[in-house]
């Protein structure tokens, strides 16, 4: 892309790359040397800069601290077979962040600002991106209110930042999930489709309770009857029943996942039957009992594709077929990885190359 913004760059005087183990980085524990920052004030985005990664200063009265006026995105950068730095569908993350901003009454970060800030940051910190199997550079763009005001109103000032860090897969093993029928993640007319911090904070208590019961994650159900499957804590959900790929439709309560859309596209490319429709909990359990639920898996940027090995409901655990035989989920994962690495042709224009 042609860059048009004037981004001031201040390089760190204490680089950490040489002393960091990039072969097995723990998700969310290590961060790269620099971060991109832009401010919103007087009705416009301004002061674009890349600075050394570090703490920031905010007022104790900061609106975000009190009312969760914040949104974020998540995407990954990789090195392909030609050692080029590539990013998977970043413009879709930029567009989704705009929708989140609209819902949260925040000024949208223009796609051009998102992309140029991302590009320049990755150019500077590209040494943090390796070709080690199973690793990538996780990219976290986020925006938050900056007004030092405890009254309830939209802020007049905001900060947009991008930080990055090397990661391995979010889930290293097939996951055990619990169908949640008491707590609710999102309701119609709410913020479920937006990537805003409060959605995730509200899920911490039920997720912790599930973990104490031996589960890795929750399957959320609808808020009205708890009869319909919606999504998981960090993933959209997919099921294969009688060789048909089934997933719940996106809407007010379900995030429009980019990995979700990619897998649905790949499935249709293969000629697989795909259904985007409401899915009852009873349908999943009945299909399991009848032996026609072949696979269940979560999909998302952090997890990519996470096979589900068991599903818990009301204290009963239902075992899935051997995940080692999961030809569909593993096939989708392999195809996505091959597209990112350049082994497979990028027919849909999903790969963005970060050029020097």
Distance separating alpha carbons of residues 112 and 122, to the nearest angstrom: 15
In a domain, 2, yes or no: no
**Within-domain flag for 52:** yes
In a domain, 133, yes or no: yes
* Cα end-to-end span (Å), the chain: 11
Q: Do both 214 and 120 map to the same domain?
A: no
Q: What angle do CA 36, 39, 44 make, to 5 degrees?
A: 130
The whole-number pLDDT of residue 131 equals 86
The answer to whether residues 104 and 74 belong to one domain is yes
- What's the confidence (pLDDT) of residue 27? 87
State the pLDDT at residue 217. Answer: 95
Residues 120 and 207 in one domain: no
In this structure, is residue 346 part of a structural domain? no
Q: Which of 168, 187, 213 is the last residue of a domain?
A: 168
331 belongs to a structural domain: yes
Q: 157 in a domain, yes or no?
A: yes
Specify if 355 maps to a domain: no
Q: How many CB atoms lie within 10 A of CB 246?
A: 23
- For 282, other C-beta atoms within 10 Å of its C-beta total 11
Query: In terms of domains, do 123 and 18 share one?
Result: yes
pLDDT (0 to 100) of residue 1: 53
Burial category of 10 from C-beta neighbours within 10 Å (exposed 0-12, middle 13-18, buried 19 and up): exposed
Question: Cβ distance 32 to 125 under 8 Å?
Answer: yes
Instruction: Return the closest-CA partner of residue 124 out of 55, 19, 49.
Output: 49
Q: Which of 278, 282, 279, 277 is nearest to 314 (CA)?
A: 282
Q: How far, in Å, CA of 45 to CA of 243, rounded?
A: 49
* pLDDT score at 233: 82
pTM across the whole model? 0.95
Residues 144 and 179 occupy one common structural domain = no
Using an 8 Å Cβ cutoff, are 292 and 241 in contact? yes
Residue 151 DSSP code = S
- Spatial CA neighbour of 166 closest among 209, 126, 212, 113: 126
Quote the tokens at residue 342.
């350049």
What would the pLDDT profile of 27-44 be if each residue is shown by its tens digit? 889 999 999 999 999 999
Are residue 241 and residue 102 in the same domain, yes or no? no
- Looking at the fold, whether 152 and 110 belong to one and the same domain comes out as yes
- Tokens encoding 330: 């593993």
CATH number where 23 lies: 3.30.470.10
Q: Are residues 328 and 280 in the same domain?
A: yes
- Condensed to tens digits (0 to 9), the pLDDT of residues 2-19 reads 557 899 999 999 999 999
182 and 330 inside one domain: yes
- Identify the pLDDT of residue 2: 53
Same domain, 186 and 153: no
Q: Which of 168, 199, 225 is the last residue of a domain?
A: 168
Which residues does the chain have with pLDDT short of 50?
Answer: none
Q: Give the end of a domain, one of 111, 143, 168.
A: 168
Residues 52 and 139 in one domain: yes
Q: DSSP for 86-104, please give it.
A: EEESHHHHHHHHHHHHHHT
Residue 1 falls within a domain, yes or no?
no
Task: Count structural domains, the chain.
Answer: 2
- Same domain? 99 vs 223: no
Q: What is the CATH number of the domain that holds 220?
A: 3.20.10.10
Q: Taking Cα atoms as reference points, which of 77, 70, 95 lies closest to residue 164? A: 77
Range of the domain at 75: 8-168
């Amino acid at each position: 892309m042609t860059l048009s913004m004037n981004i001031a760059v201040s390089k760190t005087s204490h680089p950490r790359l040489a002393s960091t183990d990039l072969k097995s980085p723990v998700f969310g524990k290590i961060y790269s040397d620099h971060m991109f920052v832009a401010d919103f004030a007087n009705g416009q985005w301004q002061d674009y800069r890349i600075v050394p990664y570090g703490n920031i200063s905010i007022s104790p009265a900061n609106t975000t601290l009190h009312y969760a006026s914040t949104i974020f995105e998540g995407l990954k950068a990789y090195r392909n077979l030609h050692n080029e730095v590539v990013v998977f569908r970043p413009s879709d993350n930029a567009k989704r962040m705009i929708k989140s901003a609209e819902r949260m009454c925040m000024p949208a970060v223009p796609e051009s600002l998102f992309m140029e800030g991302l590009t320049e940051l990755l150019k500077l910190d590209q040494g943090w991106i390796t070709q080690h199997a199973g690793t990538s550079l996780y990219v976290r763009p986020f925006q938050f209110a900056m007004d030092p005001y405890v009254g309830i109103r939209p802020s007049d000032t905001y900060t947009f930042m991008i930080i990055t860090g090397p990661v391995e897969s979010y889930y290293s093993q097939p996951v055990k999930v619990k169908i949640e029928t008491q707590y609710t993640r999102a309701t119609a007319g709410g913020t479920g489709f937006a990537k805003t911090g409060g959605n995730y904070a509200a899920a911490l208590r039920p997720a912790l309770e599930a973990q104490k019961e031996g589960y890795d994650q929750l399957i959320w159900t609808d808020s009205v009857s708890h009869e319909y499957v919606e999504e998981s804590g960090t993933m959209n959900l997919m099921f294969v029943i009688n060789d048909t790929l089934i997933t719940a439709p996106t809407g007010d309560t379900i995030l429009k996942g980019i990995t979700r859309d990619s897998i649905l596209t790949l499935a249709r490319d293969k000629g697989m039957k795909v259904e985007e429709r409401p899915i009852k909990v009873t349908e999943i359990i009945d299909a399991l009992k009848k032996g026609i639920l072949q696979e269940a898996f979560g999909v998302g940027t952090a997890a990519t594709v996470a096979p589900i090995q068991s599903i818990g409901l009301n204290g009963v655990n239902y075992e899935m077929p051997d995940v080692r035989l999961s030809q569909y989920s593993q096939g989708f994962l392999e195809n996505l990885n091959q597209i990112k690495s350049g082994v497979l042709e990028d027919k849909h224009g999903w790969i963005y190359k970060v050029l020097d």
